[in-house]
Amino acid sequence: MASTETSTQSSTRRGGAGTAALSGLAGLEAGLDALETAVVTSTPRSEVLRRKVLPPVVAVALVLVVWQVLTWTQIVDPYKLPSPSAVWSEVVDAWLQGTLLDYIWTSLWRGVSGFLLALVIGTPLGLLVARVRFVRAAIGPILSGLQSLPSVAWVPPAVLWLGLNDSMMYTVILLGAVPSIANGLVAGVDQVPPLFLRAGRTLGATGARGTWHIVMPAALPGYLAGLKQGWAFSWRSLMAAEIIASSPELGIGLGQLLENGRTNSSMSMVFLAIFLILIVGIAIDLLVFSPLERRVLRSRGLLGRS
Amino acid sequence: MASTLTKAEDRTAVAHAARIQHVSKSFGRPGAQQLVLDDISLDVAPGEFVTLLGASGCGKSTLLNLVAGLDAPTVGSIETPGGRPALMFQEHALFPWLTAGKNIELALRLRGVPKNDRRDEAERLLGLVRLTGAHGKRVHELSGGMRQRVALARALAQDSQLLLMDEPFAALDAITRDVLHDELTQLWHETGLSVLFVTHNVREAVRLAQRVVLLSSRPGRIAREWTVDIPQPRRIEDTAVAELSVEITEQLRGEIRRHGQH
């Protein structure tokens, strides 16, 4: 019965060429949109705590326990491995003397301003290498080769060129960070889907407008990865420079603190310096780069879980 | 056909939206060149809806790129008097770093629309594709059909007289595609745009077009044309659509068989 009805209906419509076709279009589309749009659910806070916060806390606690056990049982010479409490009292001493924040600030200021300078130089350089074929052929290989050169190698020439001062530190930071920032941008630009460039060109985004509206935003994830690495390289280069080149005018940064610990044979001071270097590096990554990267990826739907 | 001309006249005074004259295109190095398009001549009248139909390797997407100005013909000339044509791809090609609305506003900005007018114009265009309220949606939050509608709205934002469409519905499911056929037909009626629509789907070609142009493959040549005078709105299931589709499919199969013979 039902099938007969259907066939009659469709045969009448064949003559009339689908007159009712457009009247229900809006409702039809609204229905399709509702059916096909995914429902977004957010993960509860306790779940985030359990999955993201708990594991690293457990790992750190475990390391501290093993460390404490090693010093208690005196398996390792206490001169080579100070107890956690000895390192902690070093922290408290430095804090009470008011020097702890000075150490950190001296290095952090150099690191951050050097990184920002590297950003200002590395970005146009990367863009030039990525977009101009001649420039890429000329300096592209050198630029990516420079990344594998440990930046500590630049310390001796920088000292000879500039002497023991802040410009020498910045030079070493730049030589370490500029190539990674530029290379990150080049990689980001290379990964821009050609479809976006074609779409941009049909919309009239050519030349500088194409670079600004299409290429740069499309390359942002790769660029951010380059910045992240650039920061790591800045920080590493700076530490190398501070360890090797110490002079009274330079003040005491974390690198000098480490070197002072060595010359004073104070293992707890060495440990303090290493921890502070590590903590600053991790903190910048966790507070600046990771949230930035997550935000960019999430807004583009490139992050698995939201 | 008469009604098309009237619509064309009130939109523009020029005689054609696109004029393709003796266009050939080869790829590859000199000496080892492959001819992809061979002596194509085709006019699209203002307000006309033309589909380019062909099997793989007929160079239909290449031809569309040439008309869009993304590539230059080896021989021949292409004129688009209405300015740079708008182009819609099989993939939505929306920029994921912008919201749906901002994608449209970027097209407006590149066209030179003043900043204060962009938001309203984007809303109007979204309304045209029935996506009012989707301005702030991220691209990945939209379904496939919605993305193509935003892409259509972005193409319309160029305010070009010629809309080029490169298999824009090929990646969609059949239900969504059917709805978007209705949508496109209606928009074409409302805007009076000229459309050059590339597809390998014979029924889609007949469902949408006033004129179906069949291209042969390797190299692409115009094999035959049909004028479709079935009144709109049509449905893809209509007998008249089906009958013409059968005829065109026969011809298309004939073109494909020729390639198996040598």
The complex scores an ipTM of 0.83
Q: Note whether residue A46 is domain-resident.
A: no
Mean pLDDT of chain B: 85
Residues of A at the B interface, defined by Cβ within 8 angstroms:
10, 13-14, 17-19, 21-22, 25-26, 28-30, 32-33, 36-38, 40, 195-196, 198-199, 201-205, 209, 213-214, 217-218, 220, 296, 299-302
- pLDDT tens digits, one per residue of A222-257: 999 999 999 999 998 999 899 888 777 788 889 999
- Partner-chain contact B231 A29, CB within 8 Å: no
Asked, for residue A32, whether it belongs to a domain, the answer is no
Test the A interface: residue of B71, B132, B143 with most A CBs within 10 Å? B143
The answer to whether position A246 is within a domain reads: yes
Domain containing A141 equals 95-299
- A277 vs A271: CA distance, rounded Å: 10
CATH code for position A163: 1.10.3720.10
Tokens of A264: 């004073």
Q: Which helix (H) or strand (E) holds A244?
A: helix A216-244
pLDDT at A305: 47
DSSP B16-81: -SEEEEEEEEEESSTTS-EEEEEEEEEEE-TT-EEEEE--TTS-HHHHHHHHHTSS--SEEEEE-T
**Residue A213: closest C-alpha in chain B:** B106
Residue B195 has pLDDT above 90, yes or no: yes
Between these two residues, B261 and B237, which has the higher pLDDT value?
B237
A301–B138 C-beta distance less than 8 A? yes
Best mutation target among B239, B241, B244 (most A Cβ atoms within 10 Å) is B239
Domain-embedded: residue A178: yes
Using alpha carbons, select from B73, B12, B89, B72 the residue that is nearest to residue B44: B12
For all residues of chain A together, what is the average pLDDT? 84
Quick check: B208 and B51 in contact, CB under 8 A?
yes
- How many CB atoms are located within 10 Å of the residue A217 CB? 19
**Residue at A21 is within a domain:** no
Flag if B239 and A203 touch (Cβ within 8 Å).
no
- The beta strands (E) that lie in chain B are given as 18-27, 34-44, 49-53, 75-79, 86-88, 162-166, 194-199, 211-215, 222-227
Residues 6 or more apart whose CB falls under 8 angstroms from that of B203 comprise B236, B241, B242, B245
Number of domains in chain A: 1
Q: How far separated are the first and last CA of chain B, in Å rounded? A: 40
A132 in any annotated domain: yes
In angstroms, what separates the C-alpha of B7 from chain A's closest C-alpha?
21
* Residue in A25, A199, A205 nearest the CB of B183: A25
Chain B stretch 109-128, residues whose beta carbon is closer than 8 A to a beta carbon of chain A: 110-111
Count the Cβ atoms, other than its own, within 10 Å of residue B258. Answer: 12
Note whether B176 contacts A33, CB cutoff 8 Å.
no
In this prediction, the residues of chain A whose per-residue pLDDT falls under 50 are 1-22, 305-306
Domains in chain B, CATH or no CATH each: 2-85+164-261 (3.40.50.300), 94-159 (no CATH)
Q: What pTM value is reported for the model?
A: 0.79
Please say whether the dihedral angle defined by the alpha carbons of residues A278, A283, A289 and A294, taken in this order, is positive or negative: positive
Strands, sheet with B86-88, edge to edge from the N-terminal-most edge strand: B86-88, B162-166, B194-199, B49-53, B211-215, B222-227
Mutate to test the interface with A, among B64, B84, B126, B130 (most CBs of A within 10 A): B130
Tell me the chain B residues in contact with residue A18 when contact means C-beta distances shorter than 8 Å. 233-235, 238
